[in-house]
Structure 1
Amino acid sequence: MPVIAVTKERRAGETRVAATPETVKKLIGAGFSVVVEAGAGGAANFVDADYEAAGATLARDLKEAVGQADILFKVRAPVDEEIAALKTGAIVAATLNPYQEKDALQALAAQGATAFAMEFVPRITRAQVMDVLSSQANLAGYRAVIEAAEAYGKALPMMMTAAGTVAAAKVFIMGVGVAGLQAIATARRMGAVVTATDVRPATKEQVESLGAKFLAVEDEEFKNAQTEGGYAKEMSAEYQAKQAELVSSHIAKQDIVITTALIPGRPAPRLVSAAHVASMKPGSVIVDLAVEQGGNVEGAKLGEVAQTANGVKILGRPNLPGRIAADASALYARNLFAFAGLFLDKEGKLAPDYEDEILKAALVTKDGAVVHPNLKS
């Protein structure tokens, strides 16, 4: 019976855990044995007794948990002591942050680990249930609005009282992916007046379906700005100038701006300049969801709330899903449970098919080497 180990997250600020009592029970039902390091789920309010009740074996420390494991489940890339405890050939599945955490990949390869980066799971129908980027971005978009509302010194919905009317907050979402859509939905539920922008024309309908207004220069170039595969085409300099002018005038009127644009393997694109920030009203708030990849907002600082000279707050909080640790862990653990099913053959033995399109896309280290084509130096 293949053994899965789940350990404490040892990277600073990580509160999530890679398995919950719910998924432990499912993993055991699927034919795995599960070992959980004591205290692994504590930061997400999952207690050891519940893991044991679900059928897991509780390990007193890291070495006991990992030493005999065939598979290690992590939220973030394992640290050196975890990698050193792995047996040769062990499988690791985690959000490895492969473009930034290259030292961890090299260490995993040197240890002989077979590592899968969950960020590389392809976005195909069969893999939707394994899509950690979507499950975590969904919560990040929600939490971004909550963080913004807390930092903003006023109410979000319009309120009509005997003492007068409180105007609704104006919220602008830049980037309409999974996080952006959830931010729109959350801000709308909280009563804000919401606008959003994206370079892909197909997102206009999604934005409007949530009750928000789409902001773009909608000329012929914009209407043809998407490839058949759903990706954005590069726009002309003339269009970019027109769009930039529209966005600039719009940002100046907003109370809250939330930016969500990320490009895998590259620094986050700059969406909000210092001039944009300077044009905003005192007390306005910007939340930069891309701060861990360099940021969409000029002046954003990782792990800090930057206060500008004109009284605008720029929130650069990392790991927003980790600020909703229980739900984020539950969704992530279900993603991993679905992924784990690909490791077993029809007889229930550990025999990953490395030609499977999902495993092939996510595989980053094997047989002592970094093997993913995007990561080879």
Structure 2
Amino acid sequence: MRIAILKERAAGETRVAATPETVKKFIGLGATLAVEQGAGESASISDSAYADAGASLGSAADVVKDADIVLGVQAPDVMTLSGAKPGAWVAALFDPFGQKERVEAYAKAGFEALSMEFMPRITRAQSMDVLSSQSNLAGYKAVLAAANEYGRAFPMMMTAAGTVQAARVFIMGVGVAGLQAIATAKRLGAQVSATDVRSATREQIQSLGAKPIFVESVAGIEGEGSGGYATEMSEEYQKAQAELVSGHIAKQDIVITTALIPGRAAPRLISDEQIATMKPGSVIFDLAVAQGGNVEGSVPDQVVEKHGVKIMGFSNTPAHLAADTSALFARNHFNFLSAFWDKEQGRPVLDEEIGNAVRLTKGGEIVNERLKG
């Protein structure tokens, strides 16, 4: 069983799909690991570290040749996989809804595409969930980036010259990223509040010491979709939410938005009119900017100033913490494949529940039900 690790080629991608730690673990299962030279450089992992762990190193063509499985962060172009075994597995982020042509190309080439972002949110798959592991660190980084852009201190400081008031931070969207953003802002000493369309998150917000901001007048709307994801709300709820948020945003120093709906453009949470109510010098970090943005006027990898408010967001936030996000992503890969490792066959054999959820292509066809129709 030959597992290949390629250097990431997507613009701005600094992560790598395997670390020396996971290389050793895969070898312990009986696999042979091949890593492209320079694959880990941007994540602070040297070629010698991979070699010491037992991997062979070479060019992309050398590494992929006769590979049974290719692990990636972002799915490589099919051309890069020339030489891999027919029907080889490729496990990576595929952005299946946004990159349908790539999925079709994988089907045509005969590869079995395994979309790590389609990992079901069930208990036994938690350790395999790359979206959660990467979102966790993304929420942390969003707070640090916003704090760096904000021209004032976060905590309250009482000095002989007077008192510096604590920054007011508002988190919109309390998924994995939002919860970590709350925790990070609290650790930095800010006054933190948060909101979400899912009423069940109220207790989570309070458990982290933040103030929950929820619509109380519209009953019976939970906002909970399948797999724990948020769903789109009714017009009635959206109107009530907008009114509540508008009044709250005007008092905030930093706002961090994290709302995403799988397979759709990011929902608009903050309008230009709402931005205009904020204090000059305030900062908004849009974690969903790469998916269309939660904030009107946000631009990936740029700081845009509107009405005296700075609006920012990274196109690939996890890539700004490459060493740690790579370590977690690599463990997700190992946890995924090792959970199904068949010792007799010397390879992983996926079950139906998880296999059918993540498998996009097989036998020259697109087989995932979420992509059909």
Q: Residue 291 of structure 1 is aligned with which of 289, 292, 307?
A: 289
1:345 is matched with: 342
Q: CA deviation at 1:85?
A: 4.1
2:166 is matched with: 168
Q: CA deviation at 1:145?
A: 0.2
Quick check: 1:35–1:65 contact (8 Å CA) kept in 2?
Answer: yes
1:124-159 per-position Cα deviation (integer Å, ceiling 9, x unaligned): 111111010100000100000011001111111111
Quick check: 2:121–2:227 contact (8 Å CA) kept in 1?
Answer: no
Q: 1:265 aligns to what SS in structure 2?
A: coil
1:274 is matched with: 272
Matches of 2:40 and 2:229 in 1, distance apart? 38
Matches of 2:125 and 2:76 in 1, distance apart? 24
Q: How many residues align?
A: 373
Q: 1:77-156 counterparts in 2 under 5 A? A: 77-156=75-154
Q: Could you say if the C-alpha distance between residues 245 and 87 of structure 1 is closer, same or farther in structure 2, counting changes exceeding 3 Å? A: same
Q: 2:113 aligns to what SS in structure 1?
A: strand
Name the aligned partner's letter for residue 321 of structure 1.
Answer: P
Q: Which runs of 5+ in 1 are unaligned?
A: none
2:71 is matched with: 73
Quick check: 2:4–2:64 contact (8 Å CA) kept in 1?
Answer: yes
Q: Could you say if the C-alpha distance between residues 238 and 343 of structure 1 is closer, same or farther in structure 2, counting changes exceeding 3 Å? A: closer
- The percentage of counterpart residues that share the same residue type is 59
Quick check: 2:155–2:189 contact (8 Å CA) kept in 1?
Answer: yes
1:3 is matched with: 2
Quick check: 2:121–2:228 contact (8 Å CA) kept in 1?
Answer: no
Matches of 1:52 and 1:343 in 2, distance apart? 26
1:219-278 per-position Cα deviation (integer Å, ceiling 9, x unaligned): 470576657976667655444333221110100111100000001110110000111111
Matches of 1:133 and 1:227 in 2, distance apart? 16
Q: Could you say if the C-alpha distance between residues 66 and 343 of structure 1 is closer, same or farther in structure 2, counting changes exceeding 3 Å? A: farther
Name the aligned partner's letter for residue 173 of structure 1.
Answer: I
Name the aligned partner's letter for residue 326 of structure 2.
Answer: S
Relative to structure 2, which stretch is displaced further, 342-351 or 171-180? 342-351
Q: Are 2:364 and 1:368 aligned?
A: yes
2:321 is matched with: 324
Q: Residue 197 of structure 2 is aligned with which of 185, 199, 206?
A: 199
Relative to structure 2, which stretch is displaced further, 344-353 or 365-374? 344-353
Q: 1:110 aligns to what SS in structure 2?
A: helix
2:16 is matched with: 17
Q: TM-score normalised to the size of structure 2?
A: 0.95
Matches of 1:192 and 1:116 in 2, distance apart? 41
Q: 1:160 aligns to what SS in structure 2?
A: strand
1:265 is matched with: 263
1:58 is matched with: 57
Q: 1:164-243 counterparts in 2 under 5 A? A: 164-219=162-217, 221=219, 237-243=235-241
Quick check: 1:19–1:330 contact (8 Å CA) kept in 2?
Answer: yes
Q: 1:245-264 counterparts in 2 under 5 A? A: 245-264=243-262
Matches of 1:303 and 1:117 in 2, distance apart? 26
Matches of 2:16 and 2:371 in 1, distance apart? 26
Matches of 1:94 and 1:237 in 2, distance apart? 36
Q: 1:261 aligns to what SS in structure 2?
A: coil
Q: CA deviation at 1:80?
A: 4.1
Matches of 2:46 and 2:260 in 1, distance apart? 34
Quick check: 1:172–1:257 contact (8 Å CA) kept in 2?
Answer: yes
Quick check: 1:201–1:225 contact (8 Å CA) kept in 2?
Answer: yes
Quick check: 1:5–1:73 contact (8 Å CA) kept in 2?
Answer: yes
Matches of 2:364 and 2:227 in 1, distance apart? 35
1:189-239 per-position Cα deviation (integer Å, ceiling 9, x unaligned): 000000000111110000000000000122470576657976667655444
What is the alpha-carbon root mean square deviation over aligned residues? 1.8
Matches of 1:365 and 1:225 in 2, distance apart? 31
Q: 2:360 aligns to what SS in structure 1?
A: strand
Name the aligned partner's letter for residue 30 of structure 1.
Answer: L
Q: 1:374 aligns to what SS in structure 2?
A: helix
